[in-house]
Structure 1
Amino acid sequence: MGVLVPIARLLFSAIFITSGLNHFIQLDALTAVAQASGVPEPRWAVLLSGAALVLGGLSVLLGVFARLGAAVITLFLLSAAFMVHRFWLVADPVEAQNQLVHFMKNLSMAGGALFIVYFGSGPYSLRRSGRQEGFGGKLGSPPLRR
């Protein structure tokens, strides 16, 4: 069953790695979106968030500093949800529904990232052997024993 964890890391991280790369490929278009959303320093924000997504996604995928990478992903997702996907400000009902879906998707994925922040990368990681990552100890053990 332990093989499910690296598969889960691959499935979870793929969207962040590809989205981060897309920040560089579609820099002008995403800068325009950030600017229209009122993001300060939109070009720098797109470049920095692209780097954060690629590095965060790779860290989760490989299990190296996965907790830190997942925390960075969480910050990005929550920032994007509240700064870009503000469905409550959209007059057109179809576009408002679209933004609501993106807002809720970001919240959901942030919740998944927080699981990695808490439990760590799990088995089959490139982290140093013998050093358990995460607050919850070994996979399946009770978290934060007192």
Structure 2
Amino acid sequence: MIAPVSNNPALIVGGNNSSDYAAAAGRALLATIFILSGISKVADPTSSLGYISSVGLPFPEVGLGIAILVEIVGGIALVLGYRTKLVATLLALFSVATAVFFHSALGDQNQFIHFFKNIAMAGGLLQVAAFGGGAVSIDNRR
């Protein structure tokens, strides 16, 4: 067993302190946009297909299915802290891809904001990928 860097229990990961719950809350907040976006695609697939088609991506139906799967299943897995590092990495890549393919018209202020929102989300997700789900996660229970 590796000795902790500090004898202060508040600084030891998994010590049931506020940072454990902050990590879980952070995962939930990051996941919210994915889950809601996936649900909106299920609720109105015609609009989503139109948007995917408008940027010229091939096989919009396949793209829509993949997006729904990634957003809903990935979002729920992130909330639960299940395979957190892998899921966070996939969601980060998805965020960058959607920024590039759907929000690259940086001369349009709205697209500029969406592009960098996606990039910022990818940054937060990479933090989760680097440090894992934390103490309050399914990963920690396995």
TM-score range, shorter chain: 0.7 to 0.9
TM-score, with structure 2 as normaliser: 0.81
SS in 1 for 2:58: coil
Equivalents in 2 of 1:118, 1:128: separation in Å? 15
Equivalents in 2 of 1:86, 1:41: separation in Å? 20
Q: Do residues 81 (structure 1) and 99 (structure 2) align?
A: yes
Task: Provide the residue aligned with 2:81 in structure 1.
Answer: 63
Relative to its length, the structure with more helix (as a share) is: 2
Task: Provide the residue aligned with 2:61 in structure 1.
Answer: 43
Equivalents in 1 of 2:58, 2:33: separation in Å? 24
User: After the TM superposition, which segments of 4 or more aligned residues of structure 1 sit over 4 Å from their partners?
Assistant: none
Number of aligned residue pairs: 124
Picking from 13, 17, 29, the partner of 2:35 is 17
> Bigger relative contact order, structure 1 or 2, given CA contacts below 8 A and separation 6+?
2
Deviation at 1:67, TM superposition (A): 1.2
Q: Residues 77 and 107 of structure 1 are in contact (CA less than 8 Å); yes or no, is this contact kept in structure 2?
A: yes
Equivalents in 2 of 1:128, 1:66: separation in Å? 10
Deviation at 1:128, TM superposition (A): 5.0
Q: Residues 74 and 113 of structure 1 are in contact (CA less than 8 Å); yes or no, is this contact kept in structure 2?
A: yes
Q: Which runs of 5+ in 1 are unaligned?
A: 132-146
Equivalents in 2 of 1:86, 1:4: separation in Å? 32
SS in 1 for 2:57: coil
Equivalents in 2 of 1:113, 1:105: separation in Å? 12
SS in 2 for 1:15: helix
TM-score, with structure 1 as normaliser: 0.79
